[in-house]
Amino acid sequence: MEGYPFTHRVRVRFAETDAQGIAHHASFVVWLEEARVAYLAAFAGGYRAIRERGIEAFTTGVHLEYGRAAVFDDVLEIGVRCGELRGARFRFDYQVERDGMRIVRGWTMHATVDAATHRPTRVPEWFVADVLRAEGTTPSGPPAPASPSPSSRP
């Protein structure tokens, strides 16, 4: 998907629909998480690796804009990119498409904390390096692009 280094596919479950006959809007929050987990598995050793190194990542923000509805059995492509990464925070951007047409877009914010103390801790170097590599940016680049995209939140 244009602008997204990674895509993940989900199929709408019947349990995820509602009485309006469409996928319930909360289902997308779960799908974005699944797509994010798949991104991390592909590029940063996986979510388990992060937890095993004593770091927990909490979700601190969710933002979704629904343009079109999805229905039962639809196959959806979810584009994922790391939109920001600095200090103890990172943001993922998403675009959900069906047959090449965008139906939903959004972002999620996350904070990393020490699993033992639950105090904020910087996103680990190896994680930053892996993600920047995935995003096609090098950490040795000029300061500005150190965060893959400017922090202009959509």
For a copy of itself, the binding residues (CB under 8 A) are 13-15, 17-22, 24-26, 29-30, 33-34, 37, 46-48, 56, 58-67, 69, 71-73
Opening angle at CA 80, ends 103 and 69, nearest 5:
15
Nearest approach, Cβ of residue 116 and a copy of itself (Å): 14
Q: Which one, 22 or 78, has the nearer CB to a copy of itself?
A: 22
CA–CA gap between residue 28 and residue 69 (Å, rounded)? 11
Nearest approach, Cβ of residue 68 and a copy of itself (Å): 10
Q: Which one, 139 or 153, has the nearer CB to a copy of itself?
A: 153
CA–CA gap between residue 148 and residue 123 (Å, rounded)? 14
Residue 40 burial (CB count, 10 A): 24
Sign of CA pseudo-dihedral 30, 34, 39, 40: positive
CA–CA gap between residue 153 and residue 86 (Å, rounded)? 14
Q: Which one, 58 or 126, has the nearer CB to a copy of itself?
A: 58
Nearest approach, Cβ of residue 94 and a copy of itself (Å): 13
Q: Which one, 15 or 101, has the nearer CB to a copy of itself?
A: 15
Nearest approach, Cβ of residue 46 and a copy of itself (Å): 8
Q: Tell me if residue 138 falls in helix, strand or coil.
A: coil
